[in-house]
Chain A
Amino acid sequence: MLSRVCETLYWVSRYIERAENVARLINVNNMLIMDLPKGVSTGWEPLIDIIGMRQAYQENHTDFSESKALRYLLIGYDNNSSILNSVINARENARTIRDVIPRDVWEEINSLYYYVKDNQNEGLSKRGRFAYLKKIIESTHMIFGTLDATLNHDQGYTFSRFGLMIERADMSSRILDIRSATLITNEEGKPFENIQWISLLRSMSAYQMYRQQMGVRVQRADVIEFIMHSEVFPRSILFCLNELKKMMQPIIHSEELIKLIDQVCDSLKNEDVRMLKNGDLHDYVDKIQLKLAGVHNQLAELYFLKAPELTETAE
């Protein structure tokens, strides 16, 4: 498989997964705000942090009001992680490999683009938002499902899955980081602490699985443990890393990369994340994110097209 094509497949998946995660985040935050009394709510500010865009946001915005933040998250042209831009990026990448991706997948990506763009007012209105986001999430599932069911499970597929899993691990770590840091823990917020952890789980569609696997009521330590260490929950960081490792095994020249992923896994498993206080948790999650970026760099180094010239020789 062409290096350029593998790289593009990787990015298509990352962007689609990002669109899904942002849609999910907005939806759950929306629900949470409705549950919390006025004055207790943290509003929309944490979401801007989760996508790592605080600084850029503040350059053009004076506050984190619902309408401004939502516009930024949904369709902000100056926000590379807005749903619309993620979908545009996915579509532009997909367009350059239309020959490779199954036709149905291209059509679904194309339709998703038109849906996000043409119905943005739905997303901005309180009433239409839930349905709008739900449709986006469903559409991303359709894209990955169709890819899974119709693309040859060859190298290209591996790179597509790799992009999906690394984006997902990254997003999970961000959600955990920001959500736990901004959790309201003062006296006034105490009665609502539970709701907030539940909302964190829900934003990752993890609530039901958490109950099944952990079998305990929702509490901080267990939630962190579940999101970081679960080997069965498909959005946990460890699960994603294990997947990355598994899928790279049949790929040629992947020894160094697997070793690197192994290191990240080991350091994650050896950390007693339950005990991390808020500040330490943040530092630790930061470390994980840097390591994930390291995995990406190593992957790019090994397999992606390098800018001017490669020096390999013919086999």
Chain B
Amino acid sequence: MGIDWKAYQTNGFFDELIDAKGNVRLHGNQLAQFFSSLSNEELVKARAVADLAIKEMGISFTVYDEGNMIDRAWPFDIIPRTIGKKEWQGIEVGLKQRVEALNLFIDDLYHDQKIIKDGVFPKGLLEKSVNFRKQCVGVNPPNKIWAHICGSDLVRDGNGTMYVLEDNLRVPSGVSYMLENRSVMKRVFPELFDQVSILPVDDYPSQLFDMLAAMSPRPQDKPEVVVLTPGVFNSAYFEHCYLAQEMGCELVEGRDLVVEKDDCVYMRTITGLQRVDVIYRRIDDLFLDPEAFLPDSQLGVPGLMRAWAKGNVALVNAPGAGVADDKVVYAYVPEMIKYYLGEDAKLANVPTYKCLDPKECDYVIKNIDKLVVKPANESGGYGLLIGPKSTKKEQQETIAQIKADPRNWVAQPTLDLSTVPTLDGVEPDGRHVDLRPFILSSGHDTQVTTGGLTRVAMNKGSLVVNSSQGGGSKDTWIVDEEA
């Protein structure tokens, strides 16, 4: 016999599939029925098929362990996470609004800084921002878009509200796993796709290419678009390859590119140098150009910033876009939306205490055992303190760090992240999840992926979903409940 959903415990959390009364939510009905119909043997077999598909397709990510590079298979759970189409449409609108405001904000910061002059955003914050690039001041990227690709992390709390947890505007990653998760699911449960009305996700690479091509400084039929990777040792290398392959673009490393005396970027081909129009760069700002940033970076291309500032090449995302993605700036996004668009934010921010404010800082220090405390500019969950799960010693260490540099810290109440049934052996057990949709902006239009990447904290009780720290993922279904 298969999964008995009546026996599934939500343990007081908001579960994405099963409601508090133990009933299956409308958008998950067919999915739940399907899994109930599978025998234990079939479940075990399906898992094996998924694992094999992942191994054969070479879906992997790279972790560093004491200097060794390890290529790990992507941890994947075969029970999808479902979201109703209606709810999703609301989220989509909210994300578009958010990214529009963020782009206006970045462009403002590198030009007139009206938002500071009008007293909405504190000047002191900008002065201390580690992601503000003075090299970008006054530059006008095409259509005033800086954050062409945004990966926003969404979480749902105990009462079911969807919050934006953070916006990733530098080099957000994960979209390839979203696409690959779907193709693994199609291999594992082809019959399921006949039964449920699941919106497709395949279109992302073409949308991405169209957006990139639209940024070209030379209006022509076929702009030369390349993906710039730090190389095979980067943890997201799989994704860089994947996207270049899907878009039919060259995947280049810094050494493949050169900026000539005409301040244009060229790639070294066997027939000589060939002009490049758009670079989807997956290298952090500081490594992009040793002439402008870190002088000893081997990853970048000398002169790249010069070529970009002159408008001879488009960089996606634009350098300096990260100024809007630190966790302190995040706290001001609702004000930004109001300021630039005259609207209220359609998607909620998680309530955030800014340690910059002495009163809020005091509150954070006093209540550190109840809060999640985050440094402003770390990604991948590093440096994070989860109050209720931390030791006194860890709390004291973090307090010392906050006092040393309050501007660098924010805190949020611990959220009871929602759960999704996840296979533990052949039994479903709730695991916490988040969701990272990707938003593409070209200035002409804005597109949001259908769903996004659902990341799962694979360890029971864990709240950390990052793949570098034991996280896995699931296919994400936007289900048309009315179809």
Contact = CB atoms under 8 A, between A and B. Distances in A.
Interface of A: 1-6, 92, 95-100, 103, 106-107, 110-111, 114, 155, 159, 251-253, 303, 305, 310, 312-315
Contacts, number: 87
B227 interface: yes
Contact of A106 (B58, B232, B237, B271): B58
A4 B58 contact: no
Contact of B260 (A1, A99, A100, A313): A313
Interface stretch (B249-257, B307-315, B434-442): B249-257
A3 B268 contact: yes
B56 interface: yes
Given A2-B252, A114-B55, A305-B255, A314 B269 contact: no
Contacts of A2: 250, 252, 256, 267-270
**Interface of chain B, main secondary structure:** mixed
25 contacts: A2-B252, A2-B256, A3-B269, A4-B255, A4-B256, A4-B268, A6-B270, A97-B251, A98-B251, A99-B243, A99-B249, A99-B250, A100-B245, A103-B245, A110-B55, A114-B56, A252-B272, A305-B255, A305-B256, A305-B268, A310-B258, A312-B268, A313-B260, A314-B260, A314-B264
A206 B259 CA distance: 52
Nearest to B275: A314
B121 interface: no
B251 A155 contact: no
Interface residues of B, number: 36
B130 to A, nearest CB: 32
Interface string B227-259: 100011000011011111100011111011010
Contacts of B231: 96
Interface in B68-117: none
B5 interface: no
Nearest to B252: A2
Contact of B262 (A159, A253, A314): A314
Contacts of B240: 99
Please give me the 5 A-B residue pairs with the lowest Cβ-Cβ distance, nearest first: A99-B244, A98-B241, A99-B245, A99-B251, A303-B270
Given A100-B245, A312-B273, A314-B266, A5 B56 contact: no
A3 B55 CA distance: 30
A97 B238 CA distance: 10
B270 A315 contact: no
B57 interface: yes
Of the listed residues B57, B255, B266, B267, the one surrounded by the most CB atoms of chain A closer than 10 A to its CB is B255
B54 to A, nearest CB: 11
A103 B256 CA distance: 23
Given A3-B270, A107-B57, 20 more contacts: A1-B269, A1-B270, A2-B256, A2-B268, A3-B256, A4-B256, A98-B251, A99-B242, A103-B245, A106-B58, A155-B270, A155-B271, A159-B270, A252-B271, A252-B272, A305-B256, A312-B273, A313-B260, A314-B260, A314-B273
A98 B251 CA distance: 9
A106 B58 CA distance: 8
Contacts of B262: 314
Contact of B232 (A96, A303, A312): A96
Nearest to A101: B245
Contacts of A313: 260, 273
Interface string B255-290: 110101010101111111111000000000000000
A312 B56 contact: no
A99 B240 CA distance: 8
B56 A111 contact: yes
B316 to A, nearest CB: 17
A190 to B, nearest CB: 51
A97 B244 CA distance: 10
A98 B252 CA distance: 12
A98 B56 contact: no
Contacts of B272: 252, 312, 315
A100 B266 contact: no
Contacts of A155: 270-271
Contacts of B267: 2
B274 to A, nearest CB: 8
A98 B227 CA distance: 13
A2 B257 CA distance: 10
Contacts of A111: 56
Contacts of A251: 270
Interface in B420-469: none
A99 B244 CA distance: 5
Nearest to B257: A2
Contacts of B260: 313-314
Nearest to A159: B270
Contacts of B244: 99
A3 B249 CA distance: 15
Nearest to A110: B58
A95 B268 contact: no
Contact of B241 (A99, A107, A159, A310): A99
A99 B232 CA distance: 12
A103 to B, nearest CB: 7
Contacts of B275: 314
